[in-house]
Amino acid sequence: MSIEGYVKDISIAEVADPKTAAERLVDKVKLSPSALTENFLLLNTRSRDASMFFINSVDEMIEAENVAMQLGLGFKSRPSFIPDPKGGYYIFMKCFTFTNEEKSKEIDRLNPKTPPNSEVEANYRFNPMVHERIGYILDYPFCCIKAYAEDTALIIDPDERLTMQVADYKRKNKAINSDAFYLEEFLPCRPSCENASAKGRAYENDLRKANDTVANLYNQLKQEHLRNVESEKFLRQKESGKRKYFVSTL
């Protein structure tokens, strides 16, 4: 199938009741617990109003579309074209879920359906300012967006920066807050960022109102995200070529 076949726009429908939706979906879908909780259930509770994630297989894509429809969430899939230093592009499928039309329009403005048709457009898509705007769409804390944009402007790998910060905090016995690692692959500006931690706590509370099991699961996921940074999971994936995109979050 050509890339056009994967480009989808599903509009927002009636909101599903968060409690019933969580009960119906947890343990029954093949999406990872993190993908389901953070990109779908947290939108269903209206904790988040937009989410972005990468899709690795056709099965995952079909499931993601289905879950979005069941929850009444808007859904878009867009190809992401990462320039290959040897020429051409790596192509990844990026998906978005969202709860309002304003976010839908912003996603379209920043994520066209077609490959860049000039070098200027390709460079525009990877401009740190565009990363910043995507950070705003996803409602990331300003301090964390700023840290990420600075990394990319200086050609520092943000995954590496955060790994070093975590190692440094541990060496100095400084408190690390797992609530700050509130989304898979989200990179807080520092391991104790209070703005990111506040979001992690608020999201867990919102989920708790809907379903205890999912709230407990989300708590475990935040700790797992921190462990992934500690164990340098993403850095190892990049080294082995399994992870080609330099920018992991945006």
Instruction: Check residue 149 for interaction with Zn ion (CB under 5 A).
Output: no
Contact between 207 and Zn ion per CB under 5 A: no
| Closer residue to Zn ion (CB): 18 or 135 | 135
Binding Zn ion by CB under 5 A: which of 41, 50, 162, 189?
Answer: 189
Judged by CB under 5 A, does residue 143 bind Zn ion? Answer: yes
Q: What's the CA dihedral at 133, 135, 139, 143 to 10 degrees?
A: -110
- Decide if 26 contacts 36 (C-beta within 8 A): yes
Mapping DSSP to helix (H, G, I), strand (E, B) and coil, where does residue 183 land?
Answer: coil
Per CB under 5 A, the segment of 99-107, 120-128, 195-203, 205-213 that binds Zn ion is 195-203
15 binds Zn ion, rule: CB under 5 A: no
Query: Which residues pair with residue 97 across a beta bridge?
Result: 51, 75
Binding part of the chain for Zn ion, among 19-27, 136-144, 148-156, 205-213 by CB under 5 A, reads 136-144
Distance CA 218, CA 171 (A): 27
What is d(CA 134, CA 154) in angstroms, rounded to the nearest whole number?
19
Structure tokens at 90: 């790596």
The single-letter code of the amino acid at 22 is A
- Cβ closer to Zn ion: 79 or 135? 135
125/199 with CB nearer Zn ion: 199
Rounded CA separation 188/166 (Å):
11
For Zn ion, the binding residue among 141, 158, 191, 200 (CB under 5 A) is 141
Member of 144, 149, 217, 229 binding Zn ion (CB under 5 A): 144
Residue 193 near Zn ion by CB under 5 A: yes
Complex with Zn ion: residue 63 or 150, whichever CB lies closer: 150
Q: How far is the CB of 194 from Zn ion (least distance, A)?
A: 8
- Residues with Cβ within 8 Å of residue 106, at least 6 apart in sequence: 50, 133, 137
Q: Is 74 in the site for Zn ion (CB under 5 A)?
A: no
Contact (CB, 8 A) for 44 and 18: yes
Q: Does 176 help bind Zn ion (rule: CB under 5 A)?
A: no
Judged by the rule CB under 5 A, the positions of this chain that interact with Zn ion are: 141, 143-144, 189, 193, 195
